[in-house]
Structure 1
Amino acid sequence: MALPPAKQIQEKLFSRNVRIFYSESKKPNKAMKDTLAEQPQNFWYFNNGITILSEKVTLLKEDKKIILKNPQIINGCQTISTIGENRPSDSCLFAKIVEIGDSLINQELIDGIIEANNRQTPVDERMLKSNHPLQVRLQRHLETLGYYFERKEGQFREERAKSSRINALKCVKNIDLIKCNLAIIKLPHTSHAHEDDLFSSHFSDVFKDKKTPLDYLIPYIIWDYISRIGKNYRGEKRKRFHKLASFHVLRVIYDHCSDLNNNLKLNELFKKLNSKSFEFNESPVKQLFDIIYKKYEKSKFVDVDSGQRDFFKHKDTYKVVSESVPAYLKREIENLFEN
């Protein structure tokens, strides 16, 4: 039987592993390499081992073999990679094998096992949620629209190095997408929550079964336009300001542009935003940045030590900003995508 290349086997084995894109220069890897080189017989004692999920486990006692159906290594990517690079001849490794049955039926159980295994050592919430079915599905759908949805840190860099098709896509980091969607679902100050809170407390606010890919993507595309306009506006005086203010600008635009809240127009709007001939009207965006900056300078929410971030994390900031948007500017925003 012809086997696929080793690299393909490795990618399939580790596709559920939240740590797969960790840099090879991380300290645990160096420690493992040192043990394998200097004390290979002690590797069993110094390493936590690996965890393997399998839909079916068959034990062949006479042959001393174990047959695994659709195996997935969910914890131990660094260990396996390091062993593969160093090829020790006198080392043993502990492996825990969990029979999970049909992976499509038992997805909730699988997610629970992955989270439990990876909480024993520091893994942030973004990584723990990286294999959530809604994120995996969104990644697949966005590729058909010309975007690469990065579920794991460094994933896009890793994938585009192997594929010219991936290299042609525009990268959307899940951390940015969740912030944009939170700004319009709840209030903009929630977009400034700690990253762990975004993926633990607010993940279910953003990711829903009933949402379409464009429901997620269009807020991100508009936010990206806003961020680029803000970055090039008013220079050094507002060096960090545009990034913090961009989510409030996005929310104002969503509140006053009816096209963005009309599902029947999302396909047409997506085509327009991605057209080479489309020119985003910068004037309303710049005016909104000016309004927000003036409110920031006069704000009673600002603490001397925490400054801008304190202002944008305050729950009442958006109310102050939205009440300051004049009627003529609201009309401009309503027609923002009419050109």
Structure 2
Amino acid sequence: LAELYAQHGEGLLQRNIRVDQRDTATNRSIEATCTGDGSVNFLHFNNGVTFLCEKAFYDVFQKTLTLERAQVVNGGQTIRALHRALEKRKLKSDVIVPARAITSSGHKDFANDVAVNQNNQNQVGTGFLRSNDQRVVQLDHALASLGWLLERREGELTSLTDTERVALERRIGHHLDGRIIRLKDGAQAYTATFYGQPEIAKKNVKKIFLSVEDGGYYERIFSGDMTAEKIVIAPRVTSN
């Protein structure tokens, strides 16, 4: 797992709702367990890693599991901690990590539901829970065509490698500086201007991302009326 992260980096975690939480008490504890005297008990102390893939193939003779288009949807902090320990050459050989693979067979709604529900055991902002929703993904692509990058998960750009940064700049055709729109900020500005509900934008941000069934406005705000052009313009309107 540590070597898998070394090979693919954050690209392995694009469907993971949580970005790198870095030097938190939990992450320090994970790293301490996989490098310390209690490493043999890692299996019992850690929830493990969940992969979501389109297809999985198990070779009974080679005893190998091959995952197609795999993403880590839960256990991102664990896999990062393992990688840090590996880089420091402190990862113990007796560490066993529980891992499971869930196949989506190409069903996007199911894949998104897995990513969301795998993270419901810990509190996550409502904006994070929408980061992989098709409406948000489509907005991301539309903004990229206009030369803007949508930060779908808060803080996801802080840990970019130089290679990842260059790839994103190529994608939008501009340097990232001054060309980033954060999902929460963009949605707030749009709600206050084009949707005409400044009170919701200011005092009830959570409701922007809650579904109508849960008393929110998500489907109404992220509708066909929302365009990439309006998301770019909205912050300028509110600042004026």
The alignment's TM-score, normalised by the length of structure 1, stands at 0.59
The corresponding residue for 2:20 is: 22
How many angstroms apart in 2 are the aligned matches of 1:59 and 1:11? Answer: 26
Size of the aligned set, in residue pairs, is 217
1:41 counterpart letter in structure 2: V
Percent identity of paired positions between Structure 1 and Structure 2: 24
**Is 1:203–2:207 an aligned residue pair?**
no
The corresponding residue for 1:44 is: 43
The corresponding residue for 2:172 is: none
How many angstroms apart in 2 are the aligned matches of 1:156 and 1:223? Answer: 25
2:198 counterpart letter in structure 1: P
The corresponding residue for 2:190 is: 181
Q: Mind listing any 5+ residue stretches in structure 1 that lack a counterpart?
A: 227-339
What RMSD, in angstroms, separates the aligned Cα atoms of the two structures? 2.2
Change (3 A) 1:160 1:63: closer
**Is 1:96–2:95 an aligned residue pair?**
no
Change (3 A) 1:137 1:193: same
Aligned 1:127-276 pairs, distance under 5 A: 127-159=128-160, 162-163=164-165, 165=169, 166-183=175-192, 184-200=194-210, 201-209=216-224, 211-224=226-239, 226=240
How many angstroms apart in 2 are the aligned matches of 1:30 and 1:158? Answer: 18
2:95 counterpart letter in structure 1: S
Q: Secondary structure at the match of 1:67?
A: strand
Report the alpha carbon displacement of residue 7 of structure 1 after superposing the two structures with TM: 5.2
Q: Mind listing any 5+ residue stretches in structure 2 that lack a counterpart?
A: 170-174, 211-215
Query: What CA deviation, in whole Å up to 9, does each residue of 1:123-156 have, x standing for no partner?
Result: 2211111112222222232233232221111233
Q: Secondary structure at the match of 2:118?
A: helix
1:95 counterpart letter in structure 2: A
Report the alpha carbon displacement of residue 101 of structure 1 after superposing the two structures with TM: 0.3
Q: Is the 8 A contact 1:135 1:151 kept in 2?
A: yes
2:142 counterpart letter in structure 1: H
1:171 counterpart letter in structure 2: I
Q: Secondary structure at the match of 2:158?
A: helix
Higher relative contact order at CA 8 Å, sep ≥6: structure 1 or structure 2?
Answer: 2
Change (3 A) 1:60 1:114: same
Higher percent of residues as helix:
1
How many angstroms apart in 2 are the aligned matches of 1:94 and 1:160? Answer: 28
Change (3 A) 1:91 1:145: same
How many angstroms apart in 1 are the aligned matches of 2:146 and 2:7? Answer: 25
Query: What CA deviation, in whole Å up to 9, does each residue of 1:55-100 have, x standing for no partner?
Result: 1111111211111111111011110111112132111111121111
How many angstroms apart in 2 are the aligned matches of 1:194 and 1:41? Answer: 47
Moved over 6 A (4+): none
User: Which region of structure 1 is more displaced relative to structure 2, 190-199 or 170-179?
Assistant: 190-199
